[in-house]
Amino acid sequence: MTRDHAPVHRRVDLGPAEALRLLGSVSLGRLVFTRHALPTVRPVDHVLDDGDIVIRTHEGTALTSHAEGAAGPGVVVAYEADVIDPDTHLGWSVVVTGYARLVTDPAELARIRAMLRPWAPADGLDQAVRIHPELVAGVRLTDLTGQGGTVTALG
């Protein structure tokens, strides 16, 4: 497909602090991890806690078993969240790559359960995984004036 008109959008790279601020302004994102040596994507809810992304998950999931058995800093994952208007294609997207580790401290797990209410039924969501960001990349999609259209009010 070819375009006969000039682009009306501009891509602006975001710094890590602004990208994490935007990620913290929404509660739903996509977790990318490896399952059976292939990339897997799951929608999950999250909260930022002391600079880390924290999600709740089921015991025995592929991510939980990898994060639990990870030696060193944890298992490598990516996390993406965005707010992009489906009509104007204006908004933002943030991708974080980092290490995921299972939360094992009972007090920390209770605190996370209290502050992170899942969007889906919580039956069995008794585990939590903490993702420590190593790489943070964000982009804002704006119009040519840099205004960002109606999505600016969302984040």
| Nearest of 123, 1, 92, 110 to residue 54 by alpha carbon | 110
Domains of the chain listed by start with CATH number = 17-150 (2.30.110.10)
DSSP state of 36: T
Tens of pLDDT, residues 4-59: 555 678 999 999 999 999 999 999 999 999 888 899 999 999 999 999 999 988 65
Cβ neighbours around 5 below 10 Å, total: 5
Q: How far apart are CA 22 and CA 90, in angstroms?
A: 14
Q: How far apart are CA 142 and CA 123, in angstroms?
A: 40
Q: Let me know: does 101 contact 74? Beta carbons within 8 Å.
A: yes
Tens of pLDDT, residues 93-124: 999 999 999 888 999 989 998 888 776 665 65
